[in-house]
């Protein structure tokens, strides 16, 4: 079933190119590891297991990490009501609805497909937003599900996870030389694997962040067009960003690992150089885009402008 969220050709092209480039990088990475470690079975089994776990269990992993739980309509009738209305307007399956008992005001979507998705909000967000602002945030998250970019980000991040695991595995295994090998050979293989893993991680890191920044702008556009109220989403983004900035950085460190999934990144008051590698565009960029959409919708709705 095709949802009524407007298709975004730019997002589709970027997702395709990112997955293609990461796929080539993945093949080269696995080939290099097999050549160095002389054990293709172990390399392929570990890589396949991690990819499968990320694809099939990403929603459960994210919910568990962020202390979220699935809630029923009886527990949160207003929240379910907004999701019901938006899904009806967008003509898409209703995802599971979850709530995380966290003071940090935020929301995220996860899942491998529109039929296996979860939209989660924190209790901090529910306490701060007005109904129309909540609608804008939920429309943003539902657009991630409809455009399937949540699944793409999940799969794309797999390569970086594998590279990180290889580096850790190097310290705790004997794959880099048995007792009969010379120490110099062991050190050389160890260094080569570490170097290749670092390069792979860096490339995948940059590709994923570039895609993530665009997909957030795409979700803002789709949400504003679906609800017809860009100003409500702009108000929510301004409020959430300001409130998160007041939370001590040390309290945000755990949440920062999931920034690519949040509607607003978990940055403290002084993000510093981390902004350069952010998963999200700046608040100013997002507000400027929403202001343009608001103008366009106003002009389209004005008498005498149609046709």
**216 among the known binding-site residues?**
yes
67 is in an annotated binding site: no
Place of tokens 């885009």: 289
| Catalytic (active site) residue 132 | no
- Chain centroid to Cα 26, Å, comes to 20
Active-site residue, from 141, 174, 284, 299 = 141
Q: How far apart are CA 87 and CA 227, in angstroms?
A: 11
Residues within the annotated binding site for Zn(2+)? 140, 144, 216
Q: List residues with catalytic annotation.
A: 141
Known binding residues are 140, 144, 216
């Amino acid at each position: 079933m095709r949802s009524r969220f407007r298709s975004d050709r730019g997002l589709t092209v970027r997702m395709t190119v990112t997955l293609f480039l990461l796929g080539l990088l993945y093949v080269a990475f696995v080939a290099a590891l097999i050549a160095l470690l002389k054990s293709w079975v172990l390399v392929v089994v570990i890589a396949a297991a991690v990819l499968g776990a990320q694809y099939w269990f990403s929603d459960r992993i994210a919910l568990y990490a962020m202390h979220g739980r699935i809630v029923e309509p009886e527990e949160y009738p207003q929240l379910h009501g907004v999701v019901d209305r938006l899904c009806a307007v967008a003509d898409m399956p209703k995802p599971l609805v979850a709530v995380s008992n966290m003071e940090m005001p935020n929301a995220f979507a996860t899942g491998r497909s529109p039929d296996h998705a979860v939209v989660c909000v924190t209790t901090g967000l529910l306490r701060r937003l007005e109904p129309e602002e909540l609608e804008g945030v939920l429309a943003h998250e539902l657009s991630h599900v409809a455009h399937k970019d949540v699944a793409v980000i999940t799969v794309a991040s797999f390569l970086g996870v594998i590279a990180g695991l290889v580096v850790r595995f190097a310290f705790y295994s004997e794959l880099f030389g048995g007792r009969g090998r010379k120490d110099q050979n062991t050190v050389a293989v160890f260094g080569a694997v570490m170097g290749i893993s670092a390069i792979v991680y860096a490339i995948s890191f940059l590709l994923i962040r570039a895609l993530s920044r665009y997909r957030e702008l795409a979700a803002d556009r789709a949400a504003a067009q679906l609800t017809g109220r860009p100003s409500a989403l702009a108000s929510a983004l301004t409020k959430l960003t300001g409130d998160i900035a007041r939370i001590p950085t040390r309290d945000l460190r755990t949440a920062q690992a999931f920034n690519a999934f949040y509607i607003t990144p978990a940055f403290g008051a002084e993000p510093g150089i981390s902004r350069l590698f952010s998963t999200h565009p700046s608040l100013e960029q997002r507000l400027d885009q929403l202001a343009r959409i608001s103008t366009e919708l106003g002009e389209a709705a004005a008498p005498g402008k149609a046709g």
